[in-house]
Chains A and B, each alone.
Chain A
Amino acid sequence: MSEQNKRRFEHVIRERWCKGCNICVAFCPKQVLELKNGKVFAARPESCIGCKLCELRCPDFAIEIHEVIEGKAEGRDAAHLDFSVSPEAEHD
């Protein structure tokens, strides 16, 4: 498959929700993901095939896969709140 029409994917990661459980890293069929100081990140995003198993298995809803469609500007998704803000309601 030539380089041009190879599908590419963006890894949206909500770091504050990720607990570094390693499930996504372990079960990614293409070893795309790694943990860095307890948080997931896409080490080899170009290897991603968009199977979304990481997203489906993540217990914390902390990773989301978006296909990068050429020419279509990937606008900021309004639903993406700034997750670095800690919630006002405290946790027990």
Chain B
Amino acid sequence: MADKSFFIDTTKCTACRGCQIACKQWNMNPATKTTQRGSHQNPEDLSFVTYKLVRFSEFEENGKPVWYFFADQCRHCLTPPCKIVAELHSVSAISQDATTGAVLYDPKVKVGEKDFKAIREACPWDIPRWDDKTQGMAKCTMCVDRVKEGLLPACVKTCPTGAMNFGDRDAMLAMAKGRLEQVKEKHPKADLLNHEYVRTIFLVVDEPRKYHTFAVAKPETVIAALHESNVLVGS
């Protein structure tokens, strides 16, 4: 089995939230009680029981309404900063699957609040979540139990529009780059977010921060430095 990646084409997303629900149901996570906040985004944020969230960004630009959807999830970094910081804090909850590259949290391992905060802070995309009752950490698992049996992750399987894609990293990078070329003709600002460092590659057509505060890691040097530090450590 080869190194895997997601390609999330936000231009095809209709925010039906099928991915969000398929994720909940496959992982058997309970619903989250929410309140009306004046947005279609629901629930408000990722959590210990919400690994996948379609973020809604609604605003006005030059007198025209703009509505962006961003199906947020773990990026499954090539070199995960959360794992490095966890090991610095002697937290053994995080591992990385050698074949798929999935970054995995063991929710049964107890993590102190301070250690968790350091781990969450280390993630440039603000993904790790923690449960104050069980003291465990949880996030997207890449549905690695499905993937190793040849099935697609639940979110990708259910996507009706082709916004969510999953496969071998080479194929996904090729798909992402091909689609970017197409989209650029109409949207010159289109870009792939941190695709060199992550296994969840987002295609956006506008400035990433208009989609979500943590859509892109900036400056890129942060992850580049991390990449180098790991090369250094590994040598």
Binding between chains A and B: no
